[in-house]
Structure 1
Amino acid sequence: MKNQFKPLLLAASMLLAFSTSYAQTWALDKSHAKVGFTVTHMMLAEVDGQFKTFEAKITSSKPDFSDAVFEYSADVNSIDTGNERRDGDMKSEKWFDAAKFPTLTFKSKSFQKVADNKFKLTGDLTIHGVTKPVTLDGTMVGPKQMQGRDGKPGPEKVGFKLVGTIKRTDFGVGGSGAMPVSEEVELRATGEFTKQAM
């Protein structure tokens, strides 16, 4: 009986090795990328912020990115809201507690196309040591074959824009009740990715 399963196991192993070997990595061009958020202060005005230090990559074996995996991480200590005092407060125990939880991460689990260049990206977001599933609305431009300075074909690139809304209290960031900042946080990420050589 065991011998009957050997060909099946061998075929499965070869198929897995074949699919894995053709998984393509797309690296982030940080000079054309931004990750930010918006909250409402005192229910009066919007305040924007961003993380200046972050990493991201995409892995996909299909040209339409239908099996794409998005991975992102940011240094909480790089938060920038345009006000040093406020940035310091955001890093404190009352909010992100950057000393204890210095990194936030996201890893996608599904990429679902909903229109020509529109998709839903679902994955696990970890902030303040808490992991929750989130779904982001995405727009994809490309992939496009770029032209090099010498006129020869350059690298292949693709652009993505992601937006979504989370509740900061779901992740234990800040308290509830009469806080000066809204519970809802709008997330925005844009980035240009370059296909890496195999």
Structure 2
Amino acid sequence: MKAFVFSVAALFAVSTAYAQTAWTVDKAHAKVGFTVTHLMLTEVDGNFKNYDAKITSAKPDLSDAVIELTADINSINTDNERRDGHLKSPDFFDAAKYPTLTFKSTSFQKVEGKKYKLVGDLTMHGVTKPVTLDAVLVGPVTMENPRGKQEKAGLKISGTIKRSDFGVGSSSTAVVSDEVELKAAGEFAKQTAAVAESK
């Protein structure tokens, strides 16, 4: 009897894993960016040109979503080549030593309507810390296109972190605010094949 119960439990676990569905980002309709304040006078916007993001969920409404993001530090862009070079240097991100930034959510809780509270682990400059962000989820909705119907969803994420918490910059780089506003938004498309959740 115990063997039967174990087999049923194992089968249920495998079925649950394969029920996970991946949603991939449409980079033509997405952006991963940030804003800092320079000399406490004006805001400077930046973004990462190279990144990848996905959502994994077992529920059709994405209410149990796990959100993952990876960004290439060397692709940082603030529309100023000299500033970009400085940001990649050991004074800030040290891209040669820490070439990627990653985020993986640990909690996605509805606040009200389309608003969610997103909690996850952010790794930057070799430091991993939990962060809490605001998220707005639109959809999923079924869209018509020349290739047929496809489910899509829109996700917008925002929040503020301190770069000093991750060892990015120092007191000698105080010309840039310690607080960094994170801003990411994207359109995600549901993949037709179910994927196993790796845990």
The Cα shift of 1:86 comes to 0.2
Asked if the contact 2:135–2:158 (Cα under 8 Å) also holds between the matched residues in 1, the reply is yes
Which residue pairs with 2:162 in the alignment?
A: 167
Pair 1:46–1:80, CA change in 2 (3 A)? same
Stretches of structure 2 lacking an aligned partner (at least 5 in a row): 194-199
Could you say which residue in structure 2 is the equivalent of 1:195? 190
1:8-61, Cα deviation, whole Å (9 max, x unpaired): 221211111111111100011000000000000000000000000000011000
Q: d(CA) in 1 for partners of 2:127 and 2:26?
A: 28
Work out the CA distance in 2 between the residues paired with 1:5 and 1:66.
34
Deviation at 1:176, TM superposition (A): 2.9
- Residue 152 of structure 2 aligns with an amino acid whose one-letter code is K
Give the letter aligned to residue 182 of structure 1: S
**For 2:84, what is the secondary structure of its paired residue?**
helix
Alignment: residue pair count = 193
In the alignment, structure 1 residue 117 sits paired with structure 2 residue 81 = no
Mapping of 1:25-40 within 5 angstroms? 25-40=22-37
- In structure 2, relative to structure 1, the CA distance for the partners of 1:128 and 1:178 (3 Å cut) is closer
Contact conserved, 2:61 with 2:139, CA < 8 A, in 1?
Answer: no
Opposite residue 137 of structure 1, the aligned amino acid is D
Distance in 2 (CA, whole Å) between partners of 1:147 and 1:175 is 50
Q: CA deviation at 1:178?
A: 6.5
Residue 137 of structure 1 corresponds to 134
Q: Is the 8 A contact 1:169 1:176 kept in 2?
A: no
2:171 pairs, out of 149, 172, 176, with 176
Percent of aligned pairs with the same amino acid: 59
Query: Which runs of 5 or more structure 1 residues have no equivalent in the other structure?
Result: none
Correspondence for 2:124:
127
Contact 2:66 2:105 in 1 (8 A): yes
Which is greater in Rg? 1
Answering whether residue 16 of structure 2 is matched by residue 15 of structure 1, we say no
State the alpha-carbon separation in 2 of the partners of residues 160 and 193 from structure 1. 8
Q: Which moved more, 1:170-179 or 1:80-89?
A: 170-179
Map of 1:104 onto structure 2: 101
Larger relative contact order (C-alpha < 8 A, sep ≥ 6)? 2
CA distance in structure 2 between the aligned counterparts of 1:28 and 1:21, rounded to whole angstroms: 20
Residue 148 of structure 1 aligns with which residue?
A: 145
Cα separation, 2, equivalents of 1:66 and 1:57: 15
Q: What SS is found at the alignment partner of 2:8?
A: helix
Cα contact 1:65–1:111 (8 A) shared by 2? no
**Alpha-carbon distance in structure 1 between the residues aligned to 2:7 and 2:119:** 33
Q: Which residue of 2 aligns with 1:54?
A: 51
Shift, 1:64, TM fit: 2.2
